[in-house]
C-alpha cells in the first residue's frame, strides 16, 4: 500500500533507462523508490498468481517417481508418458469422446446463448411495450438468484420429459436465455448505440425484425463475442449440470471424466491426473489468450454499470 502515493492519473515512464535519464530533472528523487518497489511487487505477485498454472503445466511432464522427490518446478526427466496414458481412455471410453461431448455442449451453449440473449436484450432496450419494466426487473433479479433453488424442480421437469441422460437439459436453458448475465451485458451495449440508425431504418420502412438483424446485431458484435467466449468457457467448465443429468460414461463431458479419474486413481497417479487436467484446461487457456481483452473488458463494464 505504501507504493500508492502519487496521483494515479499521472503517467510514470515504465522503461527503466528512460527513467534514469529524464527522471531526476523532471521528478523529485523519491519517485524512484516507489517505481522500483512497484516493479518488484508486481513481479512477485505475478509469480505467485501464475505459479499454480506453471506448476500444473510442468508437473504434467514429470514421471510419477518425481512427485515427492523432485521439489523443483521443472521435471528432471521430462516425459510424455502421462499424456499417453491419459489419451488411452478412462473407464473404457476413449478420451477424445469426452472432448467431443464437451465440444458439442459448449458449441450448443454458444449458439443458444447468442440467439436467445440478443433477442431478449433487443426487446428490453429498443422496444417499448407493456410490462417491459417489470420483466426487466425480474431479469435483473435472477442475476442474484442462487441456482440451487432451481435444480430439484428442473430435474423433476426434465425427468418427466424423459430427457435424463441426454444433452437437452444442459442446452435448454441456453436457448431460453436463462443466464441473465448475457442479456444484461447486451442490454448495456445496445443502450449505448445511437438510436438514429434505428429511426432512419424505421423511416425507410424496416420493422423490428429487420432493424435487429441488419443494424443491431452487426453493431453489438463485441458483446456477442464476449458472450460467446463466456458461454463456451462456462459450459466447458460446468460440473454440476452434467453431474445431475448424465449417467452414461460415454456421454460424459470432460469435468465428469476428470471426476471418475479422481475416484479411480487420485492417490497414486498424480502425473496422469495433472496431465488430463492440463488437457481439459488447454482450450480454455487458448481462448483466454486470444480473446483476453474481450473477456476482461466485459467484466469491467458489467461492474461499472451494474
Partner 1 sequence: MTTDSAHAPATPRTAASGARPADHRRTGTPRPRRRNRDTVAGYVFLSPWLLGFVGLTLGPMLASLYLAFTDYNLFTAPEWTGLENLTRMAGDERFWDSVRITLIYVLVGTPIKLAAALAVAMLLNYKARGTGFFRSAFYAPSLIGASVSIALVWRAMFSTEGPVDSTLNLFGINMGGWIGNPSLIMPMMILLAVWQFGAPMVIFLAGLKGVPAELYEAASVDGAKSWRKFISVTVPMLSPVIFFNLLLEMINAFQIFASAYIIGSGTGGPGGATNFYTVYLYTRAFANNQMGYASAMAWVLLLAVGVLAFILFRTSKSWVHYAGDSK
The reply to whether 168 sits near partner 1 by the rule CB under 8 A is: no
Instruction: Please provide the size of the chain in residues.
Output: 306
26 in contact with partner 1 (CB under 8 A): no
- Judged by CB under 8 A, does residue 306 bind partner 1? yes
Beta bridge partners, 90, equal: 93
Sketch the per residue contact string, 224 through 253, with partner 1: x for CB under 8 A, - otherwise. ---------x---x-xx--xx---------
Cell numbers describing residue 262: 479422481
Q: Smaller CB distance to partner 1: residue 100 or 151?
A: 151
In the complex, what is the shortest distance from the CB of residue 237 to partner 1, in angstroms, rounded to a whole number?
Answer: 4
CA 221 to chain CA centroid, Å, is: 18
Spell out, one character per residue from 173 to 212, where the chain touches partner 1: x when CB under 8 A holds, - when not: x-xxxx----x-----------xx--x--xxxxxxxxx-x
- The closest alpha carbon to 253, from 272, 240, 270, 268, belongs to 240
Stretch touching partner 1 by CB under 8 A, among 20-28, 45-53, 74-82, 94-102: 45-53
122 binds partner 1 (CB under 8 A): yes
Encoded one letter per residue, x for contact with partner 1 by CB under 8 A and - for no contact, window 126-145 reads -xxxx-x--x--xx--x-xx
Long-range contacts of 80-86 (CB under 8 A, 24+ apart): 81/271, 82/271, 82/272, 82/274, 82/275, 83/275, 83/279, 85/269, 85/271, 85/272, 85/275, 86/272, 86/275, 86/276, 86/279
Pick out residues in 252-281 that bind partner 1 (CB under 8 A): 254-255, 258-259, 262-263, 266, 270, 273-274, 276-278, 280-281
Q: How far apart (Å, rounded) are the C-alpha atoms in residues 140 and 183? A: 9
Amino acid at each position: 500500500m505504501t507504493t500508492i502515493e502519487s496521483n494515479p492519473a499521472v503517467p510514470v515512464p515504465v522503461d527503466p533507462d528512460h527513467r534514469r535519464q529524464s527522471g531526476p530533472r523532471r521528478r523529485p528523487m523519491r519517485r524512484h523508490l516507489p517505481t522500483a518497489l512497484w516493479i518488484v511487487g508486481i513481479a512477485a505477485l505475478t509469480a505467485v498468481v501464475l505459479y499454480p498454472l506453471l506448476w500444473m503445466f510442468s508437473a504434467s511432464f514429470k514421471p510419477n517417481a518425481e512427485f515427492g522427490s523432485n521439489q523443483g518446478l521443472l521435471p528432471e526427466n521430462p516425459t510424455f508418458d502421462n499424456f499417453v496414458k491419459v489419451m488411452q481412455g478412462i473407464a473404457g471410453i476413449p478420451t477424445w469422446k469426452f472432448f467431443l461431448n464437451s465440444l458439442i455442449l459448449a458449441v450448443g451453449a454458444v449458439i443458444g446463448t447468442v440467439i436467445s440473449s440478443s433477442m431478449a436484450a433487443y426487446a428490453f432496450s429498443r422496444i417499448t411495450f407493456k410490462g417491459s419494466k417489470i420483466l426487466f426487473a425480474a431479469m435483473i433479479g435472477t442475476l442474484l438468484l442462487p441456482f440451487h433453488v432451481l435444480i430439484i424442480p428442473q430435474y423433476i421437469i426434465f425427468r418427466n420429459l424423459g430427457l435424463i441422460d441426454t444433452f437437452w437439459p444442459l442446452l435448454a436453458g441456453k436457448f431460453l436465455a436463462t443466464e441473465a448475465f448475457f442479456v444484461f451485458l447486451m442490454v448495456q451495449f445496445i443502450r449505448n448505440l445511437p438510436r438514429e440508425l434505428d429511426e432512419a431504418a424505421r423511416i425507410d420502412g424496416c420493422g423490428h425484425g429487420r432493424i435487429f438483424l441488419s443494424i443491431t446485431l452487426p453493431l453489438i458484435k463485441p458483446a456477442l463475442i464476449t458472450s460467446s467466449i463466456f458461454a463456451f468457457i462456462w459450459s466447458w467448465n460446468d460440473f454440476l449440470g452434467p453431474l445431475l443429468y448424465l449417467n452414461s460414461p460415454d456421454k460424459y463431458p470432460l469435468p465428469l471424466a476428470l471426476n471418475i479419474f479422481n475416484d479411480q486413481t487420485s492417490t497414486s497417479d498424480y502425473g496422469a491426473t495433472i496431465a488430463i487436467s492440463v488437457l481439459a484446461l488447454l482450450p480454455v487457456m487458448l481462448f483466454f489468450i486470444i480473446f483476453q481483452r474481450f473477456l476482461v473488458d466485459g467484466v469491467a463494464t458489467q461492474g461499472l454499470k451494474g
